[in-house]
Amino acid sequence: MKDNHGRTIDYLRLAITDRCNLRCHYCMPASGLDWLKRDELLSYEEIERLLPIFSSLGIRKLRFTGGEPFMRRDFDQLLTRVAESQLFESITITTNGVLTAPYVRLMKELNIHSVNLSLDTLNPVRFASITRRDVYPDVMRTLHALVDAGIRTKINAVIMEGINEEDILPLAMLSKDLPVDVRFIEEMPFNGRGDRHAIKWNRSGLMNELSKGLGALDRITAEPNSTSENYSAEGHLGSVGIIAAWSRTFCGSCNRIRLTPSGQMKTCLYGQNELDLRDLMRKQLSTQEIATAIEHAVLHKKKDGVEAESARTPVEESMATIGG
């Protein structure tokens, strides 16, 4: 499946819930969000109807995300069925790690390709301040369980001025003794309030700080369509990287589409909802009609995140409602 810019679209990010057990400053207000009602969510049956359609259209990589995916009841059972269906070449998961440790063994058995673990600090007090929850030990238990199981682990950290900038190097140093990829993400405006401010820790600022602290960094050849610039440091088992999610330097090779918890398909993180797949299924459209609608939406994909954002009302969503 190709978009109108000739890019092959083969990666689906599926948010199965908007609910999260953390309240990170950069994602949502302390009071949380107006959570979707149960009948507003895609049911598991609807998800399992859609996934073969996406597979038939050429989607090869599936990422489960949220919110926090492990907050949704019986997610482990859905994960098992989808993995055993062998519809996709790889299945990955994004999680905050609070509830994840008990499922690491299952993920290993299902050959989950990799796990992205959100972790913005290695300081328990700062962790509680950023997330508004005191669950740091649970996240670290998940991190070590993933590493011990041999599951490729990517640590995602959002660096915020005056909040956790002193964590850049301690987080980066996790890659010295652990085979993990530590990626630093530019802060984005998806905080549920529409707040925007100048970003100190952009790609350039992060690169300078990493170079000062780690010494010479060697660029690692990027995987096709990678969103991160990755680097190796001498003597490190893992790598460090930068995801320029606000600068949007990787948009030109975008191969992704997103499905929100309510079944809205987005062809760009910064864009509007493009297609209501939940509504199409509940109107009893055929499989072919749904596939045609997906292809049509992809053929109107914006060139990049800047163009997508300029064509819409200001960003006010939380990342939890989009799929992080």
The residues with which 13 forms a beta bridge, in sequence order, are 63, 258
What average pLDDT does the segment 132-141 reach? 97
Nearest to 25, CA basis, from 200, 124, 136, 160 = 160
The reported pLDDT for the residue numbered 192 is: 47
Q: DSSP string of 93-146?
A: EEE-STTTGGGHHHHHHTT--EEEEE---S-HHHHHHHHSS--HHHHHHHHHHH
Digit-coded pLDDT (tens) for 109-125: 999 999 999 999 999 99
pLDDT above 90 covers what percent of the chain?
71
**CA 146/CA 153 separation, integer angstroms:** 7
Q: How confident is the model at residue 227 (pLDDT cuts 50, 70, 90)?
A: confident
Distance of CA 132 to CAs 117, 142, 179, 223, Å?
Answer: 18, 19, 29, 35
Residue 149 has pLDDT above 90, yes or no: yes
Higher-pLDDT residue of 208 and 252 is 208
pLDDT at 272 over 70: yes
**Which residue, 117, 115, 113, is CA-closest to 61?**
113
Task: Specify the range with the lowest mean pLDDT, choosing from 159-173, 191-205, 216-230, 299-313.
Answer: 191-205
Per-residue confidence (pLDDT) for residue 317, from 0 to 100: 58
**Nearest Cα to 117, choosing from 73, 169, 70, 72?**
70
pTM of the predicted model, to two decimals? 0.90
Walk me through the domains of the chain, giving residue ranges and CATH numbers: 11-322 (3.20.20.70)
Is residue 323 pLDDT above 50, yes or no? yes
Cis peptide before 67 (omega within 30 of 0): yes
Other CB atoms within a 10 A radius of the CB of residue 301 amount to: 23
Nearest to 140 by CA among 164, 121, 115, 165: 121
d(CA 21, CA 33): 12
Contact indicator for 153, 112 with CB cutoff of 8 Å: no
Local structure of 32: helix, strand or coil: coil
pLDDT at 284 over 50: yes
State the burial class of residue 210 (Cβ atoms within 10 Å of its Cβ: 0-12, 13-18, 19+): buried
pLDDT of the residue at 197: 53
Confidence grade of residue 301 (pLDDT, cut at 50, 70, 90): confident
* 59-78 residue pLDDT tens: 999 999 999 999 999 999 99
Position 252 pLDDT exceeds 80: no
Q: Are 302 and 308 in contact (CB under 8 A)?
A: yes
The pLDDT of residue 175 is above 50: yes
Contact, 175 vs 236, CB < 8 A? yes
Enter the tokens of residue 112: 């989950």
